[in-house]
């Protein structure tokens, strides 16, 4: 009689386990039976994989209107995988993600905000009120996208920045510490924000529709119990020729530009997306990748000259870039075998406040795809074209 699957040699099982690149596949492998779990543990110990897991590409996290939460792994083929989320996050609106398994969620559309760790079930609440220091009052706000300076449980502390709809369009908070968000002075034409560990300046970098960059850093020397204070510093930007506006009255209806910030190889990049991504009225969507070139370190309270420099050959140069407000990430394609370079984008060029207020309707998810550097491919392998959600748009999740 042929041996059962559970009786396969542990050495053979270990080889198979080490060839699985996706973290989810490794978890499923170890859950088959006791002998497979033992073989996986032995292989991990032999290669020190438990201490240094293989690099992971993000998962595309989906909260369908009906059915369980699920995800698509670009490393594991085209099948949908179920994902167990904390119960209160099942019908949440997702508005951000951070490496290590964290997502930002609004459990009740525009209230009950929290940072949720998908695997450990840790839950760090976020305020649903915003304080305006200039006026000494607090008001409601709607979170559009959340960016973090570090893991919410890091010893060095964490600050969250958010693109918001309200009296201001930008606010900051220390998760788990502050009772309300602190509003920043409104940044005209704010497009994206990201925490960047730059040589010239370290802090939250915000970009506007005229491609200006402002850096926000936490004011030091204050007691922990003191209200959070953020100090802004602005680069003196040299406007690049023919830079597109976020919206041009002469453009065809629905055509526009959206900008995203992403850190790659120690540099701050801006990805400019022209949409729609198909030819329409003679306008074709596409992408530009530019790098922030800074003449000198940004002084406290001062200005430093900077400019956006377009990278050669489309700017990919072996990168795999995933775009999302506040949480875009770049990876090296060479770390993932035969995985090709490209820019993966979601349907997030606009924000519908009525959906956040739970006024009914489906979140946008039709304009999802990949730019290969030569062409735009509609859809992502494994993403169901018929997907609909009244809870949240698809988002990237970084395990």
Reported as a single tens digit per residue, the pLDDT across 183-215 is 998 788 999 999 999 877 899 999 999 999 999
pLDDT greater than 90 at residue 395: yes
- Please give the model's pTM, rounded to 2 decimal places: 0.90
What's the pLDDT at 272? Answer: 94
Sorted by sequence, the CB contacts under 8 Å of residue 50 that are 6+ apart come out as 41, 44
Q: Which of 228, 233, 246, 227 is nearest to 206 (CA)?
A: 233
What's the pLDDT at 282? Answer: 41
Structure confidence at residue 164 as a pLDDT band (50, 70, 90) = very high
Tell me the angle at which helices 34-47 and 23-30 cross, rounded to the nearest 10 degrees.
130
What's the pLDDT at 254? Answer: 52
β-sheet with 170-173: strand ranges across: 137-140, 129-132, 181-183, 170-173, 160-165, 142-148
Supply angle C-alpha 152, 145, 147, rounded to 5.
Answer: 35
Q: What are 24's two structure tokens?
A: 């989810």
Q: What is the DSSP letter of 6?
A: G
Least confident interval from 10-14, 21-25, 245-249, 333-337: 245-249
Cα 106 to Cα 391: distance, rounded to the nearest angstrom: 10
Cα 219 to Cα 61: distance, rounded to the nearest angstrom: 35
The helix (H) or strand (E) run that includes residue 355 is helix 353-356
List, for residues 84-110, the tens digit of each pLDDT value.
888 778 889 999 999 999 999 998 877
Supply angle C-alpha 197, 133, 145, rounded to 5.
Answer: 45
DSSP string, 18-60: HT--SHHHHHHHHTS-HHHHHHHHHHHHHHTTTTSPPP-PPEE
The helix (H) or strand (E) run that includes residue 287 is strand 286-294
Q: Which of 143, 263, 289 is nearest to 202 (CA)?
A: 263
Q: Which domains does the chain have, with CATH numbers?
A: 8-54 (no CATH), 55-237+253-397 (2.120.10)
Cβ 396 vs Cβ 322: under 8 Å: yes
Q: What are 374's two structure tokens?
A: 């030569």
Structure confidence at residue 48 as a pLDDT band (50, 70, 90) = low
Cα 105 to Cα 131: distance, rounded to the nearest angstrom: 21
List, for residues 328-373, the tens digit of each pLDDT value.
999 999 998 888 999 999 998 888 777 777 766 789 888 899 999 8
Cβ 55 vs Cβ 336: under 8 Å: yes
List, for residues 103-158, the tens digit of each pLDDT value.
999 988 777 899 999 999 999 999 999 999 887 888 989 999 999 999 999 887 89
pLDDT greater than 50 at residue 174: yes
Q: Please give the average per-residue pLDDT across 160-166, as a whole number.
A: 93
Supply angle C-alpha 119, 386, 366, rounded to 5.
Answer: 85
What is each CA distance from 60 to 226, 293, 384, in whole angstroms?
38, 32, 11
Cα 202 to Cα 292: distance, rounded to the nearest angstrom: 14
What's the pLDDT at 61? Answer: 95
Cα 331 to Cα 333: distance, rounded to the nearest angstrom: 6
What's the pLDDT at 193? Answer: 97
pLDDT greater than 70 at residue 82: yes
pLDDT greater than 90 at residue 2: no
Cα 298 to Cα 187: distance, rounded to the nearest angstrom: 19
Q: What are 357's two structure tokens?
A: 């207020």
List, for residues 222-280, the tens digit of each pLDDT value.
455 567 889 888 888 988 877 776 544 444 445 688 999 999 999 999 999 987 655 44
Supply angle C-alpha 203, 205, 211, rounded to 5.
Answer: 160
DSSP string, 217-251: EEPPS--TTSPP-EEEEE-EEEPPTTPPPS--TTS
β-sheet with 102-106: strand ranges across: 93-98, 102-106, 113-117, 123-125
pLDDT greater than 60 at residue 50: no
DSSP string, 294-347: ESS---TT---EEEEEEPGGGG-TTEEEE--TTT-EEEEGGGGTTPPPEEEE-S
């Amino acid at each position: 009689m042929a041996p059962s699957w559970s009786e396969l040699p542990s050495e053979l099982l270990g080889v198979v386990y080490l060839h699985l690149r996706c973290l989810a596949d490794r978890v499923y492998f170890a859950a088959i039976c006791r002998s497979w779990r033992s073989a996986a543990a032995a292989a991990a110990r032999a290669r020190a994989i438990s201490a240094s897991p293989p690099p992971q590409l993000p998962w595309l996290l989906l909260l369908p209107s009906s059915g369980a939460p699920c995800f698509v792994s670009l490393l594991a083929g085209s099948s949908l995988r179920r994902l167990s989320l904390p119960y209160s996050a099942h019908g949440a609106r997702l508005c951000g993600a951070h490496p290590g398994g964290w997502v930002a969620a609004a459990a009740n559309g525009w209230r009950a905000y929290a940072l949720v760790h998908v695997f450990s079930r840790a839950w760090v609440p976020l305020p649903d009120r915003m304080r305006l220091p200039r006026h000494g009052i607090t008001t409601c706000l709607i979170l559009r996208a959340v960016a973090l300076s570090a893991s919410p449980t890091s010893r060095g502390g964490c600050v969250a920045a958010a693109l918001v709809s309200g009296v201001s369009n930008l606010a900051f908070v220390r998760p788990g510490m502050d009772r309300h968000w602190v509003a920043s002075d409104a940044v005209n034409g704010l497009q994206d924000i990201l925490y960047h560990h730059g040589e010239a300046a370290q802090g939250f970098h915000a970009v506007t529709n005229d491609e200006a960059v402002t850096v926000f850093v936490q004011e030091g020397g204050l007691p922990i119990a003191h209200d959070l204070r953020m100090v802004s510093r602005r680069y003196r930007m040299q406007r690049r020729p023919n830079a597109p506006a976020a919206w041009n009255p002469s453009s065809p209806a629905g055509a526009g530009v959206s900008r995203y910030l992403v850190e790659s190889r120690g540099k701050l990049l801006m990805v400019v997306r022209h949409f729609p991504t198909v030819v329409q009225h003679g306008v074709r969507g596409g992408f530009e990748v530019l790098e922030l070139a800074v003449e000198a370190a940004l002084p406290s309270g001062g200005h430093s000259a900077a400019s956006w420099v377009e990278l050669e050959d489309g700017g990919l140069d072996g990168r795999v870039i995933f775009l999302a407000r506040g949480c875009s990430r770049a990876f090296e394609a060479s770390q993932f075998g035969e995985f090709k370079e490209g820019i993966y984008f979601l349907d997030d060029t606009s924000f519908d406040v009525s959906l956040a207020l739970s006024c009914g309707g489906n979140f946008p998810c039709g304009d999802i795809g990949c730019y290969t550097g030569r062409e735009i491919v509609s859809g992502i392998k494994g993403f169901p074209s018929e997907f609909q959600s009244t809870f949240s748009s698809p988002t990237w999740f970084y395990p």
